[in-house]
Every structure is written in structure tokens, then in C-alpha cells.
Chains A and B, each alone.
Chain A
Amino acid sequence: MADFTDDIFFGTIGEVGAKLRAKEFSAVELTRAFCDRLERLAPRYNALALSLREQALRKAREVDDDLKRGRVRGPLHGIPYGAKDLLAVKGQPTTWGAKPYAGQVFDEDARVIEKLQKAGAVLIGKLAMVELAGGGGYRFPAASLTGPGLNPWDRTRWTGGSSSGSGACAAAGLVTFALGSETSGSILTPSAFCGVTGLRPTYGLVSRRGAMALSWTLDKIGPICRSAEDCALVLQVISGRDFEDPGTAGKSFTYAPQFARKPADITIGYAPVDFEEWADPAARPDFQTAVGVVKALGVKIKEVELPDFPYNALTGTIISSEAASIFEELIRSGKVDELADHRQAAGLKAAMDIPATEYLKAMRIRTLVQDAFRRLFLDVDMLLSPSRLAPASKITEPLDRGSLGGRPQPKSRGLNGLIPAGNLAGLPALSLPCGFADQMPIAISLVGRPFYENQLIAIGRAFQSQTDWHRRRPPVGV
């Protein structure tokens, strides 16, 4: 019987896969160890929606049969992972984190689940999320069927959302990687708050078939992992055209580090004011150090500012309008009042009255946003900013306090607003752990032009080769 140490539970895809192929343990032993750990520890963080032990062990036995025959499907073969509970798994409850859908069961897998199945990855659990991915606007972290996501670094603090369980489980070594989703911030925020690496792909790179829709034109599914390279390995499997998702872009992603441009050929745009004034004072020292590490990679640096648009008003209008249409039956039936967060229920109800002209205006301004980013990316290859300005808040604090915590607003906007802006323009983003503030993780983000994931990951890997923030481990079990 193998001895499963923390090195395995916190290992990267490459590290765990190498040990599996070297027969240090079988896929069944590995799966059993991760299932035991997930079932035992995930409830401490309100991170588990459903354990899938039985089907995971069946899959693990298939993996062991393959490995006996010398058949290795790829780097994800035999790797245990978790999926945000907005992704359908055939025959299993898919709750969307919301009481009205607690008993919902679909009769087919989401496309990304199918693809990971074919790649030999082992799905061990459905992971908790903010109800309906937070589309109506929620006021408290407790906006979930499973309660507030509790951060493995400090359980009095929030994981961030809406991919709360995915962030917590990846951080605590309960899965080797997780799938999350982002409409506006839901991969980047839990990745930053939990100290793990998250990738929001370009809109349309990954099929949304079988995923709960919150906003057709903003939803993206992406990996939350222990390294930038792991994000690339997962994206390679889950990306690609899908005729059953009209939003897919007809492109796939092939991880090609050998073709990435050298750092000296890359220009990164950033705004010093983000790190010196917008950022929480406790976060500034490690943010400054991280900017120094990026500069030391040899990239060219240019000061930039975000194009001037009302990004929050745009995402608010678009998400509200699309979500109200998607959840119209829930709202009109009154079952929306079963949601845990009253503000979210109210937000969905109010959204029913948004005029079509208002939605169309937002979508027309969105065209101007895309044009402005195209012009910006003529001068720089990618943008660098804090993923979030401060570390995770206490779970008792309301989420509508604002990011400045009472501090005066800086005169220059810098790149503040990059999360809604980047989502509006469909841009990819990579969140990289870069230090601590008040003993809680903080992160930087790299945002690129559409389909620029290989280059983002190359710079991310280079950053992670010079730092070890992504290898830090929270005090799990405390």
C-alpha cells in the first residue's frame, strides 16, 4: 500500500502523473486516497457538493487496465480532479449551488467532462459554488446551498466566488486540479484568495455545453490548478470547437512552450498606481516585489491606463439581462425566493424590467470596448495588474463595501476595472500567486489579447520558476 504524503496531495499534474506511470501506486490507490481526503476535509471549507467515489474508482480501474497495457492517454491520465457544480455529470445531481435546483439531474455529461473522461482524468467530486454563480448580485459569502466558502488559509475568511469549492479544493490539495467558471471574476477571485493558479480562457475557446448558463456572452469554463503549466495541460484537453455550443470560436488550444516568444520580445503594460495606491497597504510590499520579478524576466515594460468605460455598469446590465432571460421561469414561479441570498433574488427580479434598448446599448458600447482593447494591444502584448486589490475578506463582512476599505480613491484609474473590462472583451487571463498580505494569499494577473494563452502561460511559468508562492501549502486539517 503506497504511502500518500502531502507531496502527492499538493503535487502538480506532472509530478503526480510521473509517480503513477512509475508505478509508485496504482490509479485505484491514488483515487481512493484523494477521495478519502476530499470527503474528510472538504466539508471543513464547505467546498464539496457531492463525492463521486464510486464512479471515480470505476474510472481508476480502467486507468490501471490501460497502464498495464502500456497505454498512456496523456498527462491527465489517472489524475484526480473536481468540477464546479454547474457542470452536468450524467446521472448525478447538479445543483448549481442553489436550493431550487438541488434535485436536478442531467442525462449527459457536460462537454468538458466528456473530454476529460476521454483523456483519462478521474472526476472525484462536484465542488461547491455560489448559487447560480452569483448572477443576481449577492451580498454575503453565505449565498450558497453549501454555505459560505471557507478559505483553507484561514477559515474565518472567504474563498472568493463563485468557484468557491474549486479554489478551496485546489489550494488544500484535495484535488490535483479543478474546473471553475468565470462570467466576471469567478475564476480569478478564488484563485487569488486561495493562493492557486487560475486561467480564464478566451471567450469561446472552451465549450459551455452542459454548463449552467448565467450569461451567454460572458460565461467561460477554465482550470484552477497548482501551476501555470498545469492550467495549460488542462486547457489543452477541454478546449475546441463544439457544434452544440454556438459560442465556440472554432479554435482549440495546443500547449506549445517551444514556440513562445522570449521575454525580451514581450511588452507588458502596467499601471504603477495599481500597486502603489489602489492596492491594500498590507499587500503593497509583495505586489512591488512581484512586479520586480516580472521586470527581471527581461520583458519590456510600458505604463498604460485602462480605456475609459463604465465597466461595472456594462457587466451589470448585460449579466442581469441575460440571467433574467435564462432564469425567467425561476423568477416568475416565485422559486427565486428560495435562494439563500435575498439580494440575489431581488437582483434577478429587478432584472426582468431592464428594457431591451438598455441591453442593446450595453452590447453596442461593448463593441467600443473591444475596439479600444485592440488599439491597446497594438502597443503592448499583455497587461499586468493585481488580480484583486486586497486579500480575502472575513466571511461575516458584506461584499458590497468596495475595494478601497474607506481609503480615498486614487486620481488615476490605472488598470482598475480590468476584471469586468477583460471579460467584456472576451480576453484570457492568468492569475498567479505572488505573496501574502495579513497572512492571506495575494496574486497578480496577466491579461492578453484573444487566444494568447500560450504566451500568458510562458510568462507565468517564467514567473513561477523564480518564485515559490504557487507551492505554498495552507495549514490543512487545522
Chain B
Amino acid sequence: MKVTRRKLARILAAAAAVPGVAAPQAPSAVSSGDEDLNTAREQLRNNAQQLAKVNLPMATEPAFRFKA
């Protein structure tokens, strides 16, 4: 079934219009795209550093199995 342009517009309008909301809208991220990307990469580096500290026996296999 196709989504008509009218229906799509209703969905996006419902997303934009928030009647009777007492609270202020939350701010979007104020930092630049590069800053966010650097923050995300830094987080992944931190994750890797934490995983590197775990004593991992060589014989330990991943928690998934392939079945023929």
C-alpha cells in the first residue's frame, strides 16, 4: 500500500505540533558534528581500553554459534 503525501504530511505534522505542552522543548545538541563524532570515537576507544583489561582465555569462543 502506498503512503499518500497527505498521510505522510499528517505524520510529520503530528510530530511537530505538541499542543498544551507545559515543558519547554529540550535543546538539540549544541556541539558541532565534528565534536560529536570525536566524542563518539573517544567513547569507543574507552570501551576498547576497558575490554583490553579483561583476562580472556585463548580457548574462549564468541557467544554465538554457526550451524551448517
Q: Which positions in A face B, CB cutoff 8 Å?
A: 43-44, 46, 48-50, 91, 93, 95, 102-103, 105, 107, 136-137, 139-142, 145-148, 150, 155-156, 217, 309-310, 312-314, 316-317, 320, 337, 340-343, 345-347, 349-351, 353-354, 358, 360-368, 370, 394-396
- In the bound complex, residues from chain B placing their C-beta under 8 Å from that of A91 are 1
Q: How far is the CA of A349 from the CA of B44 in the complex (A)?
A: 11
B3 partner residues in chain A, CB cutoff 8 A? 93, 103, 105
Is B27 touching A313 in the complex (CB atoms < 8 A)? Answer: no
B51 touches A314 (CB 8 A): yes
Assembled-state Cα–Cα distance A342/B37 (Å) = 9
Q: Is the CB of A142 within 8 A of B25?
A: yes
Question: A43 touching B60 by the CB < 8 A rule?
Answer: no
Q: Are A363 and B63 in contact (CB under 8 A)?
A: yes
Instruction: Say whether B28 contacts A363, CB under 8 Å.
Output: no
**What residues of A have a CB within 8 angstroms of the CB of B26 in the complex?**
140-142, 148, 395-396
A95 CB → nearest B CB, Å: 7
A343 near B64: Cβ-Cβ < 8 Å: no
- Contact indicator A340/B47 (Cβ below 8 Å): no
Task: Determine if B40 and A362 form an interchain contact, defined as CB atoms under 8 angstroms apart.
Answer: no
Per the 8 Å Cβ criterion, residues 1-38 of B in contact with A are 1-3, 7-8, 11-12, 14-15, 17-29, 31, 33, 36-37
Q: In angstroms, how far is the closest chain A Cβ from the Cβ of B38?
A: 8
Main SS class of interface, A: mixed
Q: Which residue of chain B lies nearest to A49 when distances are taken between CB atoms in the complex?
A: B11
Within the complex, which residue of B22, B36, B56 is in contact with A345, where a contact is CB–CB below 8 Å?
A: B36
- Chain B residues lying within 8 Å of A362, measured Cβ to Cβ, are 51
B15, A146: Cβ atoms closer than 8 Å: yes
Q: Report yes or no: B61 in contact with A137, Cβ–Cβ below 8 A.
A: no
Residue from A102, A139, A310, A354 in contact with B54 in the complex, judged by beta carbons closer than 8 Å: A310
B51 touches A350 (CB 8 A): no
Contacts of B44 in A (CB 8 A): 316-317, 320, 350-351, 353-354
Q: Provide the bound-state CA to CA distance between A443 and B54, in Å.
A: 32
Known: A310-B53, A340-B28. A150 touches B12 (CB 8 A): no
Q: A137-B43, A316-B44, A364-B61 are in contact. Are A346 and B33 (CB under 8 A)?
A: yes
Contact between B36 and A343 (Cβ–Cβ < 8 Å)?
yes
Q: A317-B51, A340-B28 are in contact. Are A349 and B18 (CB under 8 A)?
A: no
List the 6 shortest-distance A-B pairs measured between CB atoms, nearest first. Answer: A363-B62, A346-B36, A350-B40, A313-B50, A310-B50, A313-B47
B23, B29, B60: which contacts A140 (Cβ < 8 A)?
B29
Give me 28 A-to-B residue pairs in the complex whose CB atoms sit less than 8 angstroms apart, sorted by A's number.
Answer: A43-B19, A50-B11, A93-B8, A95-B11, A105-B3, A141-B26, A142-B25, A145-B15, A146-B15, A147-B25, A148-B25, A156-B22, A313-B47, A313-B51, A316-B43, A316-B47, A317-B44, A346-B33, A350-B41, A351-B44, A353-B41, A362-B51, A363-B62, A365-B54, A365-B56, A365-B60, A367-B62, A368-B60
Per the bound structure, the CA–CA distance linking A364 and B63 in Å amounts to 6
Besides the known contacts A320-B44, A365-B51, 15 further A-B residue pairs in the complex with CB atoms under 8 A apart:
A93-B7, A102-B8, A102-B12, A105-B3, A139-B29, A140-B29, A217-B63, A309-B54, A314-B51, A317-B44, A341-B28, A349-B37, A350-B44, A365-B60, A367-B60
- Name which residue of chain B comes closest to A320, CB basis: B44
Cβ 8 A contact of B20, one of A44, A145, A337: A44
Please indicate the chain B residues that have their CB under 8 angstroms from the CB of A340 in the complex. Answer: 28
Question: In the assembly, what is the distance between CA of A353 and CA of B1, in Å?
Answer: 37
**Closest partner residue, chain B, to A351 (CB atom):** B44
B53, A43: Cβ atoms closer than 8 Å: no
**CB pair B51 A366 closer than 8 Å:** no
Picked from A102, A343, A360, the residue with its CB within 8 Å of the CB of B29 is: A343
CB distance from A140 to the nearest CB of B (A): 5
Q: Nearest A residue to B53 by beta-carbon distance?
A: A310
What B residues does A320 contact at CB under 8 A?
44
A363 touches B54 (CB 8 A): no
Asked if B48 is an interface residue, CB under 8 A from chain A, the answer is: yes
Residues of A within 8 A of B62 (CB): 360, 363-364, 366-367
B27 lies within 8 A of A396 (CB)? yes
Say yes or no: A366 contacts B63, CB within 8 Å: yes
Give Cα A255–Cα B56 distance, bound, in whole angstroms. 39
Q: Find the B residue at minimum CB distance from A107.
A: B1
For B40, the closest partner residue in chain A by CB is: A350
**Which residues on B sit within 8 Å (CB–CB) of A316?**
43-44, 47
